[in-house]
Structure 1
Amino acid sequence: MGKYILLLHDAVDVDAPPDEQDTILQLTQIDEELIAAGFRTECMAFAGDLVSLEIHLKEHTPDVVFNLVETFHGARFLHIIPALCEKLGIRITGAGATSLFLTSDKLVSKHLMKLGGIPTPGWIDPHKRDDWESFLARPLICKPRMEDASVGIDDSSIFTCASIKDLELRVDHAEANQLFIEEYIEGRECNISIATIDGVVTIFPIAEMLFQDYPVSKPKIVGYDAKWLEDSFAYRHTLRSFSIDREVPLSSRLRQTALSCWHVFLCHGYGRVDIRIADDGTPYVLEVNMNPCIARDSGFIAACAESGLSYVEVIQGIVKEALCGISNIS
């Protein structure tokens, strides 16, 4: 009899927004592949009851928990699922508790990147007003501190401030709504997908996001519309290309930057590093997203396909890594 896989996922309301509904699509596709491969599967929604989850895990002892929990209270508590599994000695797919904790808070991530010498856009510290003047008359972007999937990001997220008073109002609003403000980097945007395969860190072909036929006045960002709203201009005109790997010096620098992130955040499993390339060629890391979406149409799977891996190979590889308990952290 095949090994028993518990697919743990977000509890999604029927009227949930597209980014949350995508969880169910992802769940269905992965479950189908695992069943076809001979695994015994069970799907279980997690809505925050850790006691019930612990009891279930102890009673049923799955060989692997396939962790698809992505939006529990934003990203603030995503680390508690692997932490519980680690406590119980149960294998779990994807990132461990430490790397999820360090990457889910974007401000914590930025501090660690700065300490690790990894370029990341400068950000406004509400407690260091002496630095604020340097951000005036420069493009800025306001982003959620604890959300992924471009939630809360649209064209209005980008702005400039002409005075300290203007900036103060923006900072106060950000503080009150768990947002933060950072420098907006004009330039090319890339996503670098990474995974541990047989214990070895593998960097897949680099995806560049192309903003085709964007009006001059429209910010070239992968906001919520571009990711989720299929009828929107941004969705239809934001395309993915894998040609940047032909630019060898640049792609080598991007890969090294992504690898540095992988080590700084003690990563294993699978993840994605989002980068903006400034006009001078500097790769600025926007965020590190562990356990990104792995639905068939996701960016991570597209990068895997570009390297020659089929969808079933990716899913089975993720389970294999969890079963072996392999980590690239030495």
Structure 2
Amino acid sequence: MPISGGKVPDGRDAGFISVLHAATESRPDEIDTIVTAKAVAGALSRLGFATEIIGLAPDLRGIDALPPRRPLLVFNLVDAVGGNCRLAPMVPARLDALGLAYTGAGTSAWLDTLSKIGTKLKLAHAGLPTPDWSEDGTGLDPEAKVIVKPIWEHGSLGIDPASVMLGSDAARAIVERTLRWNTEHFAEAYVDGREFAAAMMEGPNGVEVLPLRETIFQGFAEGQPLITDYDAKWTPGSQAYNGTPRRFGIEREEPALAAALTRLALACWDLFGLDGYARVDFRVDETGAPFILEVNMNPCLGLDAGFAASALEAGLSYEVLIGRIVEASLGRLQATA
């Protein structure tokens, strides 16, 4: 069912696809996953698939009820289980054990990118640029700025303007924030510059990088760090949220930088053995040098999220985006049959 050109297939007999999440209603980022599951299920229904949303409990028992229903595919939206990102790889692992096909990256890629430190180690070993870091805050330039981040969590959880500080304060902040958020933190060199995201998905001719998205920082107070923190993603009406619009057009305006970011994004796809769709986040310093911040296996697919915006910029409607993800997963299934 080729849909790369924007055609929505007639899938009246296409089969059953379950939409899986393990989110709670405890935080805005978790609620967004539930909203996204409804959006994905709606798109699948419009594409002609039978579908059902399954919200998993921490014991993941809902997965065990799937094999008798013989789903064509499981659309895996799980990026945390009960708010804990460290548990997310349990879902593809369980699906693998049951022989169920699913969207997105496989278990090994999840395990390779779950820890931000583990991701950075693999990037550095491959010679790909990523900001310097310290697990305990020692060994950093005390006069240089750093950002203290959670090791395991995604969606900017635990990140706020005070996360950016001098290296001399990092060790203390790592201990304090680890206790406050009940999850380990580390320090990373703060790249003072621009921020980009490369959304990637499998197409008819292999992986494609969708139009690169830049986050614009506007209306921030002088001296305030220009970062996409938790409020910027999940608190509508806040200055951080309103002051971080997205823009496109770097491919036309700065082709050399666009080519460098595209090359690095594709290198990450190959290095981590990604499948289906993914996103790589970058900062670009004042000299124009790019640095890889994160490799996201399961980027948000909400209707208003950056991934869908990049797809729309490429001429792909939301239904076609979801259909392309399904098509890629089914293509891999047929290739290994």
Q: Is the 8 A contact 2:23 2:33 kept in 1?
A: no
Determine the C-alpha separation between the residues in 1 that align with 2:334 and 2:90: 19
User: Aligned with 2:196: secondary structure?
Assistant: strand
- Where does residue 242 of structure 1 map in the other structure? 248
Q: Aligned equivalents of 2:42 and 2:178: distance in 1?
A: 43
Does the Cα contact within 8 Å between 1:198 and 1:326 map onto a contact in 2? no
Matched, 1:111 2:121: yes
AA of the residue aligned to 2:22: D
The equivalent residue for 1:323 is 330
1:9 — aligned with what? Answer: 21
* TM-aligned CA distance change 1:314 to 1:252, over 3 Å: same
Corresponding residue of 2:133: 123
- Which residue of 1 is the match for residue 52 of structure 2? 42
Question: Could you tell me whether the CA contact under 8 Å between 2:23 and 2:31 is conserved in 1?
Answer: no
Cα distance, 1:147–1:139 mapped onto 2, change above 3 Å: same
Q: How does 1:30-69 map to 2 (within 5 A)?
A: 30-50=40-60, 52-69=61-78
**Taking structure 1 as reference, are residues 326 and 252 closer, same or farther at Cα in structure 2, changes over 3 Å only?**
farther
Q: Does the 8 Å contact 2:148/2:170 carry over to 1?
A: no
Shift of 1:48: 2.2
Identify which of 117, 141, 146 aligns with 1:135.
141
User: Is 1:156 aligned with 2:165?
Assistant: no
CA deviations over 1:218-275 (Å, ceiling 9, x no partner): 1100001111111101111111011221201111011111111111111111111100
CA drift of 1:171 comes to: 4.0
CA deviations on 1:294-327 (whole Å, 9 max, x unpaired) are 1110000100111111110001111111222269
Gaps of 5+ in 2: 1-12
**Amino acid in structure 1 at the alignment position of 2:327:** K
Tell me how far apart the structure 2 counterparts of residues 295 and 46 of structure 1 sit (CA, whole Å). 19
Q: Is the alpha carbon distance of 1:62 and 1:199 closer, same or farther for their aligned partners in structure 2, counting shifts above 3 Å?
A: farther
Runs of 4+ in 1 over 4 A off after TM superposition: none
Return closer, same or farther for 1:244/1:264 CA change in 2, 3 Å cut-off.
same
TM-score for the superposition, normalised by structure 1: 0.91
Between the aligned partners of 1:54 and 1:232, the Cα distance in structure 2 is 38
Q: Distance in 2 between matches of 1:56 and 1:154?
A: 40
Gap regions ≥5 residues in structure 1: none
Alignment of 1:286-297 (within 5 A): 286-297=293-304
> What is the DSSP-based 3-state SS (H/G/I as helix, E as strand, rest coil) of the residue aligned with 1:69?
coil
> Secondary structure at the residue paired with 1:325?
helix
Q: Which residue of 1 aligns with 2:10?
A: none
Amino-acid identity (%): 36
Identify the residue that residue 218 of structure 1 maps to in structure 2: 224
**CA distances 1:121-168 after superposition (whole Å, capped 9, x unpaired):** 100133x95xx1x42111010111111111111101011144xxx444
| Maintained 8 Å contact 1:174/1:180 | no
The reply to whether residue 270 of structure 1 matches residue 277 of structure 2 is yes
Q: Which amino acid aligns with 2:15?
A: K
Q: SS at the partner of 1:190?
A: strand
Distance 1:104 1:8 in 2: 19
Q: Please point out which of 84, 95, 110 is paired with 1:74.
A: 84
What CA distance in whole angstroms lies between the structure 2 residues aligned with 1:327 and 1:95? 16
What is the CA distance between 1:36 and its match in structure 2? 1.7
Q: Which residue number corresponds to residue 175 of structure 2?
A: 172
Task: Kindly provide the amino acid, as one letter, of the partner of residue 281 in structure 1.
Answer: G
> Is 1:258 aligned to 2:230, yes or no?
no
CA apart distance, 1:203: 0.3
Q: Deviations over 1:15-73 (max 9, x none)?
A: x22111111211111111111221111211112224x2353122222110010112215
**Secondary structure at 2:216's aligned position in 1?**
strand
Task: Supply the distance in 1 between the matched residues of 2:47 and 2:93 (Cα, whole angstroms).
Answer: 28
Are the equivalent residues in 2 in contact too, given 1:75–1:105 (CA < 8 A)?
A: no
Change (3 A) 1:175 1:55: closer
Contact 1:193 1:271 in 2 (8 A): yes
CA deviation string 1:94-133 (max 9, x = no partner): 111111111121110000000011111100133x95xx1x
Q: Separation in 1 of the partners of 2:121 and 2:115? A: 10
Secondary structure, counterpart of 1:76 in structure 2: helix
CA RMSD of aligned residues (A): 2.0
Provide the aligned length of Structure 1 versus Structure 2.
319
- Superposed displacement of residue 199, structure 1: 5.7
Asked if the contact 2:89/2:107 (under 8 Å) is kept, the reply is yes
